[in-house]
Amino acid sequence: MSRAHLVVNLSRIEHNARILVRRLPGVDIVGVSKVTCGDGLVAAAMVEGGVKAIADSRHANLEGLREAGVDVPVWLLRGPRPDEAAETVRLADVSLNSELATVWALDAAAERLGGVHRVIVMVDLGDLREGILPEEVVPFLNAVLPLRHVWLEGLGTNLSCYGGVAPSPENLGELVELAKVAAEMFGRGLTVSGGNSSTLDLALGGNMPEGIDNLRLGESILLGMNTLTRKPLMPELDLDAFIISAPVIECKMKPSLPIGDVAQDAFGHKPVFVDRGIRMRALCALGRQDAPPQGLTPCDDRVEVLGASSDHLVLDVDEMDAPPAPGDSIDFRPNYAALLQAYTSPYVEKMHVSDSPAKVRSRVGARREVVT
Show the domains of the chain with their CATH numbers.
9-228 (3.20.20.10), 242-353 (2.40.30)
Residue of 34, 180, 254, 350 marked active site: 34
User: What is the C-alpha separation between 212 and 30, in angstroms, rounded?
Assistant: 13
- Does the structure show a pLDDT above 90 at 367? no
- Single-letter code of the amino acid located at 118: R
The pLDDT, as a whole number, for residue 257 is 85
Burial state string for 67-106 with b = 16 or more CB within 10 A and e = fewer than 16? ebebebebbbbebbeeebbbbbbbbbbbbbbbbeebbbbb
The pLDDT, as a whole number, for residue 369 is 46
The pLDDT, as a whole number, for residue 275 is 83
Please say if 254 is a catalytic residue.
no
Q: List, for residues 239-263, the tens digit of each pLDDT value.
A: 999 999 999 999 999 998 888 777 7
The pLDDT, as a whole number, for residue 264 is 67
> Is 186 in contact with 180 (CB distance < 8 Å)?
no
User: What is the C-alpha separation between 2 and 283, in angstroms, rounded?
Assistant: 13
pTM of the model: 0.92
- Does the structure show a pLDDT above 70 at 356? no
Helix (H) or strand (E) holding 103: helix 100-112
